[in-house]
């Protein structure tokens, strides 16, 4: 039997998703909890790896098991054995053609920025704080230059292992709710640090330090050294993963932090 799970986690106290010896990771914590409930060793496969400090609202994973449990049994049993900064939101049996990573058709991320003079205690490790005034209209104009099918070499981390930097970004939407700015990015797949590096280019444009056209110049350069900083991990959330409709996976609720 193959089981899919919707996983939510606060990434600040994890050394990323992928299991690493001697490190606290989401994959290790989840593997231990699922294996305990299944009563045999389980291997979990995720829709994508998230870095240290990055959060998830609907990371999708799957595992294979011969154990017979109800959906409710899996949900309650796994959550009972997980730390408080990870939670399973849904459980769905799927057929063997489903793969959390390779069946995904789109991944969506949201980057959150707190834009005000004072820092936040409540949103500590949940948003990137910057006190400089930001014009989101300039950011959106720059974002529009980055959507579509391009060579995103200027937006990939040095340690990125992807064979090609050619990616198709479906949408980048910049919105503001009072002092909070959200940058929503959707694509089938991403390069290592790609979303955080996109944010690192858009923010200086919003602050007026760089012109809108700079985004296109960075893209065309294919040179990481020509781009901005890598935005901090704590502002980034994996919000959703989309799959073909016939798998009938549960959806996710509205974004719980802001709007």
Active centre residues (catalytic): 51
Helix runs in the chain, H state only? 26-38, 71-80, 136-146, 194-206, 214-221
Tell me the C-alpha distance between 58 and 72, whole Å.
Answer: 18
Closest CA to 59 of 40, 96, 21, 87: 87
What is the signed CA dihedral for 173, 179, 180, 183, rounded to 10 degrees?
A: 30
Asked whether residue 109 is marked as a ligand-binding residue, the answer is yes
DSSP per position, 159-228: T---S--EEEEEEEEEEEETTEEEEEEEES---TTHHHHHHHHHHHHHTTSS-TTHHHHHHHHT-GGGS-
Cite the annotated binding site for substrate by residue number. 109
Cite the annotated binding site by residue number. 109
């Amino acid at each position: 039997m193959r089981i899919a799970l919707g996983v939510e986690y606060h990434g600040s106290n994890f050394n990323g998703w992928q299991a690493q010896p001697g490190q606290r990771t989401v994959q290790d914590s989840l593997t231990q909890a699922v294996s305990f409930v299944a009563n045999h060793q389980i291997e979990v496969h995720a829709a994508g790896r998230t870095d240290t400090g990055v959060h998830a609202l609907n990371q999708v994973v799957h595992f294979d098991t011969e154990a017979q449990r109800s959906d409710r049994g899996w949900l309650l049993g796994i959550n009972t054995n997980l730390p408080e900064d990870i939670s399973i939101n849904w459980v769905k049996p799927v057929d063997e053609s489903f793969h959390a990573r390779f069946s995904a058709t789109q991944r969506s991320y949201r980057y959150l920025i707190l834009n005000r003079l004072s820092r936040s205690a409540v949103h500590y490790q949940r948003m990137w704080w910057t006190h400089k005034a930001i014009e989101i209209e300039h950011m959106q104009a720059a974002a529009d230059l980055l959507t579509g099918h391009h060579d995103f070499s200027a937006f990939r981390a040095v340690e990125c292992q992807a064979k090609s930097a050619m990616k198709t970004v479906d949408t980048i939407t910049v919105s503001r709710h009072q002092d909070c700015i959200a940058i929503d990015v959707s694509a089938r797949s991403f390069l290592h640090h790609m979303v955080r590096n996109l944010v690192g280019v858009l923010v200086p444009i919003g602050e007026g330090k760089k012109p809108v056209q700079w985004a296109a110049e960075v893209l065309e350069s294919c040179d990481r050294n020509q781009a901005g900083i890598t935005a901090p991990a704590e502002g980034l959330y994996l919000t959703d993963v989309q799959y073909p409709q016939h798998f009938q996976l549960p959806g996710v609720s509205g974004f719980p932090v802001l709007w």
